[in-house]
Amino acid sequence: MKYNFDEMIERRGTNCFKWDALLSMYGYDDLLPMWVADMDFCSPDFVMEAIRRRCDHPVLGYTMPSEGYWKAVTDWLGNRYNIVASKETLHFIPGIVAGISFALLALTQPNDKVLVTTPVYPPFLNLPRESGRTLVCSPLKIENGRFAIDFDDFERKAEDCKIFIMSNPHNPAGTVWGSDVLMRIADICNRHNVIVISDEIHADLTLPPHKHVSYSTVSTNACDNSITFMAPSKTFNIAGLGSSVCYVPNPDLRKRFFCWLDALGVAGGNIFAFTAAEAAFSNGDEWLKQMLDYLKENVFTLQAFLNARLPKVKVVLPEASYLAWLDFSDYGISHKELAEKLIKEARVALNDGTTFGGEAYECCFRINLGCPKSMLLDALNRIAGVLPTA
């Protein structure tokens, strides 16, 4: 079956955060939303069908993960990432942001230091701060048009941190970390007793020929000292269902973390989260392949458009997922003026770079390419229309 990713779906009026929260977030409700990290594509037919089938039964009482769900999850992790997980090493969680938050509460004390690399997905900055931990940031460098870790800075800062929260692949720009980088992180974190939280929510969206390497698989150190989060939510555009999973191979760490999760009562999950995840992981290969081909085309479209019409914009193109990092600093326009131009004149909603790590990123914006090509071109034309050509 050939899936149609060109179709524009009307999402307004469905309590959809990306389209229906524009007024509260940006002050206008008629912007083209290129911000929240979900896709404007239909969730797969086989997921919708599984949910519909479950709704044919008239009782929606308490539920639990089925053997079919665990098989679908373990097969997916094993076949794609060589993660040899049994269901004992896994735990359902309603969402990864919540999962990271639970991990901070379970494994650190107030004021303990938590390391992140910036720019990064904003909750990585907010969760440590809001849970009374001390946030430590190691800025990434840009090398050959992609993000790279400054290992001297990283090691200096890791020395007295308790946890490193890593986005693997990296949000905001879909950088895929190779095994050499991950092994170096494992070596440093192991020497300084830093637990690594590897958030791999974007892993399935790695764009060929890039390959995702799951952190826990690179070395014994990495395996013993890590918590890995995975989810079908980005992959199959089902983020609204709250269906994620964490993998902790080390039994001691697992006990400390899973006890907390059980105490919080999140293991019960919800009927649609389990139903959708099982259907997605069991039937999703072909849909995902076609969707990744489409995303790759959108990345080429972005690149070609920038070369032709916006050559002053520097870009970090995604190697995974649908998020690209745009740097407008060569225009010499202030952050306020730039934001106003994009919102008030172009009427496009992008994610403001400052939310990914502060003032250093005030000329940067993240754009979401997970949409029909026509919508992407509309957004790019709007942006090009309000920026000086010379």
Residues that bind ligand PLP (CB under 6 A): 37, 95-97, 121, 167, 171, 199, 201, 231, 233, 239, 244
Report the nearest approach of ligand PLP to the CB of residue 165 (Å): 9
Range 113-116 contact pairs with CB under 8 angstroms and sequence separation of 24 or more? 113/160, 113/161, 113/162, 114/161, 114/162, 114/163, 114/164, 114/165, 115/154, 115/157, 115/158, 115/161, 115/163, 115/164, 115/165, 115/194, 116/164, 116/165
Report the nearest approach of ligand PLP to the CB of residue 38 (Å): 8
Report the nearest approach of ligand PLP to the CB of residue 133 (Å): 18
Closest Cα partner for 324 from 370, 276, 381?
370
Name the residue nearer to ligand PLP (CB basis): 201 or 380: 201
Residues in the chain: 390
Name the residue nearer to ligand PLP (CB basis): 233 or 283: 233
CA pair distance 228, 168, nearest whole angstrom = 10
Report the nearest approach of ligand PLP to the CB of residue 356 (Å): 11
Report the nearest approach of ligand PLP to the CB of residue 192 (Å): 23
Q: Residue 144: which region, alpha, beta or left (left: phi > 0; alpha: psi -120 to 50)? A: left
Closest Cα partner for 349 from 123, 42, 29, 120?
29
| Strand order across the beta sheet in which 351-352 lies | 314-316, 323-327, 364-368, 351-352
Name the residue nearer to ligand PLP (CB basis): 236 or 305: 236
Name the residue nearer to ligand PLP (CB basis): 105 or 384: 105
CA pair distance 70, 90, nearest whole angstrom = 9
Name the residue nearer to ligand PLP (CB basis): 83 or 125: 125
Q: Which residues of 123-133 are buried (b: 16+ CB within 10 A; e: fewer)?
A: bbbebbeeeeb
Report the nearest approach of ligand PLP to the CB of residue 115 (Å): 16
Name the residue nearer to ligand PLP (CB basis): 261 or 387: 261
Report the nearest approach of ligand PLP to the CB of residue 200 (Å): 9
Which residues are registered as beta bridge partners of 245?
92, 230
Report the nearest approach of ligand PLP to the CB of residue 366 (Å): 10
Residue nearest to ligand PLP (CB): 95
Name the residue nearer to ligand PLP (CB basis): 95 or 249: 95
Name the residue nearer to ligand PLP (CB basis): 97 or 182: 97
- Listed in sequence order, the residues at least 6 apart from 154 whose beta carbon sits closer than 8 Å to its beta carbon are 115, 117, 138, 185, 188
End-to-end CA distance of the chain: 46
